[in-house]
Structure 1
Amino acid sequence: MAFYATGETMNYILYAIPFFLALIGLELLLDRWRGVSTYRFSDTINSLSAGVLSTTVGLLTKAVGLLTYTLAWQQLALFELSASSLWIWLFAFLMYDFCYYWNHRLGHERNVLWAAHSVHHQSEDYNLSTALRQTSTGFIFGWIFYLPMAVAGVPPLVFLTVAALNLLYQFWVHTRHIAKLGWFEWLFITPSNHRVHHAQNAVYMDRNYGGVFILWDRLFGTFQEELDDEPVIFGVTTPLASWNPLWANAQFYVALWRDAVRAQSRWDKLRIWFMRTGWRPADVAAKYPQSKVDLSQFVKFDVPLNRAQKVYAALQFSLYVVGGTLLMGLGADLSLAQMLLGVAWMAVGLFVIGIWLENRPSAIRLEVLRLLLNPPALWLALQLGLLPAQPLLWALLLGYSLLSLGALFWTPRGQAALPA
């Protein structure tokens, strides 16, 4: 699932957040009722952190897709399509999914596109929180794939709306609680055929790219049915092995950059970014070999945390969910300076929570620093008009900071699981 929210579309996602959270709660109840475990605490927080970061960064990057699409529609449209026609909406919905298929497919088949999209596949679990695990860098190239809709004359409002509907549809297919759905499997993306898409098993790799319709996969030879004798193993072949949402977005870009620097050939330094996913210059591959996970011995990445550490992380993360939702609600009313402050505050907080979940020795020092940075961040927010100037805000911040510091030093911590 790949999308960057823009304008009205971001509002659709904002309105859907309570339903997303309610359905995640329902899935957790189903887990308990059926005696299974499709959620792990840190993985879920990491997926949600990536989603919160993506929507927040989208405040800064949304103009890339919106402006390029609008400009192409104004200058290059071959037809004048009316937003008042139901047939135009149906055509746009179908065409969007077709463009999405190719965006999604090439997102798996080209190195630089996979660097962005891989974020969505890094979770080694599969549940509704995985649907919200989104990239923050997809805006760089993703807009290109939807320009044919602008050339065809699809108005921006129609484009934004069908894009949001496509995205919302994809939420429910990220579950292990729904089995195959008979004839529905032949036409639409379902939980079964999307589980295949998230697998790292060789038989399932790079299959089932559609957003709403599975027809494109059947037509272009990329369909694979979920097999009863081949249980899906979720994740990516180069594990993230981290709960840090910033590193999740940077991991594959860094790997490509390192290989580009190491390559002797200038041509290889350039083309590595656009070659098929996994391609590496021969000299680099020989000198710096990479080993892949043996799926017969696959073990999910995890870092042991006690109950108190989990409760502290959950309470702190909830603050950033509220903050991210507030920023989304303000949306287009924010100035560039306000957006930059909001994105920086969110990124720092989510980064530190990730370090906390990894139980690194530096976690407490960084958490204290995060709390100490909140007063100057609030002062800047007041100066920029992002928040109303009220004494109550300072009282709430002081109370929150003191309670957090008290809880931080009260919370027992086990032995550090990862280096600083």
Structure 2
Amino acid sequence: MNFVIYAIPAFLLLILLEIYLDWRYQRHTYRFNDAINSLNLGMMSQVTGIAQKTVQFSAYLLVFDQIALWNLGHDSWWIWPFAFIAYDFCYYWFHRISHEINVFWAGHVVHHQSEEYNLSTALRQSSGTFLGFLFYLPLALIGIEPYVLVTVGSLNLIYQFWVHTRHIKQMPAWYEAIFVTPSNHRVHHAQNPIYMNKNHGGVFIVWDRLFGTFQPELEQEPVIFGVTKPLASWNPVWANLDVYWALAKDSWRAEKWADKLKVWFKKTGWRPADVRKAYPNKRFDPYQQVKFDSPLSARQKLYVALQHLTLIALVLQFILASATMSHSGILQGAALLVFTLFCQGYYQQQRRYLLWLETGKNLLLTALYYLYLGPDSAPYLLLWLLLASLLLVMAHGKKIKTIKQHHDRGDYESQQQ
């Protein structure tokens, strides 16, 4: 059973609680655009994941049905803790490789692009991870049932939610030694050189201690969140394509055929020597960080917030309905929702022609609502369209200049976190 869908209301309530604590104690761990972007990427991951996981889950089923050494079942009590620990062990290696090899980093980088660290960051997940399922096939080989895999996998993901906060400094020493905590996971999200590529565990930090990737959070070295090659965009589609595009360009530009292949599978940040010389990356210094933002007026924020709530409702409806939808219906619905998420990011950056794009999107959504909900819904749909259009016109104002990343000095030429 996948418990994640049932945990979503709790996630949202805890985010609201953290926002209140932020205001109460003036911690300033949230920024409007950043949080909305993280949540949009989380929704996009859920939407695209429905289509992707059909293929990935089929591979697991194939191994389990055809070549599994045993069938451990699910009735014995010990199966569940064993599967939970085994899943986290596999997750550790998948997560570690995702930071150490270019193509895996391209699929994982989305989770690290936020320059803030809060509970919304936990929901910032990638839609471009295609090879992760390979790391869990050994569990099928030893006989862990698909039902058990999905259950423990969802519990593993739910655990990881709460560690994305700055409001908890340290847990008791014994807990810090065994489990992933907010402190040691903040290290994992850091771009400080001393912290990079450390603390990969999902639930248990003991894997990092055993395999030499553990690093405690140091009081004298405050964590700087984000990646050393900043995204500088609220576009959720581009967030998933950014590193893939950089690798594709390097592969295309490389003179040697071996380098064209190597660029995908070498250590994170590796580039062919000829490409590095001809097309040097801009150098970024994390200690000179200027956070990316696109300031919005109060009315623009209201419009974004209401559109975001509409998107949450649509995505939840899509997830719940997907079990009875055809594969083509899932692909069409996913494409539409990805388009609406793209529109939201486009609006947040106040890009050119945003009025035309938003108006077209609102008309398209209204038409689709009518198509699927029928004539009885027409009055409500007309009201929604009028309200959305009114808010859009009211919110539209003079374009505000985007605050972009700039670093004047430094020597960190890497695509890795």
* TM value normalised by structure 2: 0.94
Out of 172, 186, 193, the position equivalent to 1:195 is 186
Deviation at residue 164 of structure 1 after TM alignment: 0.5
Tell whether 2:266 aligns with 1:263.
no
Cα separation, 1, equivalents of 2:13 and 2:47? 21
Residue 209 of structure 1: aligned partner: 200
Root-mean-square deviation (Å): 1.4
User: Contact (CA 8 Å) 2:178, 2:206: kept in 1 or not?
Assistant: yes
Deviation at residue 103 of structure 1 after TM alignment: 0.4
Q: Which moved more, 1:201-210 or 1:355-364?
A: 355-364
Tell whether 2:389 aligns with 1:405.
yes
Tell whether 2:405 aligns with 1:415.
no
User: Contact (CA 8 Å) 2:103, 2:265: kept in 1 or not?
Assistant: yes
Question: SS state of the match for residue 131, structure 2?
Answer: helix
Residue 348 of structure 1: aligned partner: 339
User: Contact (CA 8 Å) 1:361, 1:416: kept in 2 or not?
Assistant: no
Cα separation, 1, equivalents of 2:158 and 2:280? 40
Q: 1:388 to 1:411 in 2, by over 3 A?
A: closer
Residue 48 of structure 2: aligned partner: 57
Deviation at residue 163 of structure 1 after TM alignment: 0.3
Cα separation, 2, equivalents of 1:365 and 1:275? 43
Cα separation, 2, equivalents of 1:416 and 1:152? 57
Cα separation, 1, equivalents of 2:215 and 2:376? 57
Cα separation, 2, equivalents of 1:292 and 1:20? 37
Residue 327 of structure 1: aligned partner: 318
Tell whether 2:59 aligns with 1:68.
yes
Tell whether 2:145 aligns with 1:164.
no
Cα separation, 1, equivalents of 2:264 and 2:376? 51
Cα separation, 1, equivalents of 2:215 and 2:67? 37
Residue 336 of structure 1: aligned partner: 327
Cα separation, 1, equivalents of 2:376 and 2:215? 57
Out of 137, 148, 153, the position equivalent to 2:138 is 148
User: Contact (CA 8 Å) 1:360, 1:416: kept in 2 or not?
Assistant: no
Q: Which moved more, 1:310-319 or 1:338-347?
A: 338-347
Cα separation, 2, equivalents of 1:81 and 1:136? 32
User: Contact (CA 8 Å) 1:260, 1:268: kept in 2 or not?
Assistant: yes
Deviation at residue 14 of structure 1 after TM alignment: 1.3
Question: SS state of the match for residue 86, structure 1?
Answer: coil
**CA displacement 1:149-189 (0-9 Å, x = unmatched):** 00011111111100001000000000000011122110000
Question: SS state of the match for residue 265, structure 2?
Answer: coil
Question: SS state of the match for residue 249, structure 1?
Answer: helix
Cα separation, 1, equivalents of 2:376 and 2:18? 38
Q: Which runs of 5+ in 1 are unaligned?
A: 1-7
User: In structure 2, what residue type is equivalent to 1:146?
Assistant: Y
Q: Which runs of 5+ in 2 are unaligned?
A: 404-417
Tell whether 2:9 aligns with 1:18.
yes
Matches within 5 A, 1:241-390: 241-378=232-369, 382=371, 387-389=372-374
Cα separation, 1, equivalents of 2:29 and 2:366? 38
Question: SS state of the match for residue 78, structure 2?
Answer: helix
Matches within 5 A, 1:63-102: 63-102=54-93
Cα separation, 2, equivalents of 1:54 and 1:355? 18
Residue 3 of structure 1: aligned partner: none
Residue 211 of structure 2: aligned partner: 220
Cα separation, 2, equivalents of 1:361 and 1:226? 43
User: Contact (CA 8 Å) 1:123, 1:234: kept in 2 or not?
Assistant: yes
Cα separation, 1, equivalents of 2:10 and 2:328? 31
Identical columns (%): 50
Question: SS state of the match for residue 232, structure 1?
Answer: coil
User: Contact (CA 8 Å) 1:120, 1:130: kept in 2 or not?
Assistant: yes
User: Contact (CA 8 Å) 2:188, 2:200: kept in 1 or not?
Assistant: yes
User: Contact (CA 8 Å) 2:294, 2:400: kept in 1 or not?
Assistant: no
Residue 5 of structure 1: aligned partner: none
Q: 1:418 to 1:361 in 2, by over 3 A?
A: farther
Cα separation, 1, equivalents of 2:226 and 2:301? 23
Question: SS state of the match for residue 183, structure 1?
Answer: helix
User: Contact (CA 8 Å) 2:48, 2:127: kept in 1 or not?
Assistant: yes
Question: SS state of the match for residue 272, structure 1?
Answer: helix
User: In structure 2, what residue type is equivalent to 1:68?
Assistant: A
Q: Which moved more, 1:43-52 or 1:395-404?
A: 395-404
User: In structure 2, what residue type is equivalent to 1:157?
Assistant: Y
Cα separation, 2, equivalents of 1:146 and 1:407? 47
Cα separation, 1, equivalents of 2:142 and 2:323? 27
Tell whether 2:230 aligns with 1:239.
yes
* TM value normalised by structure 1: 0.93
**CA displacement 1:263-312 (0-9 Å, x = unmatched):** 11111111211111100111110011012321221111111111111110
Deviation at residue 418 of structure 1 after TM alignment: 5.3
Deviation at residue 75 of structure 1 after TM alignment: 1.1
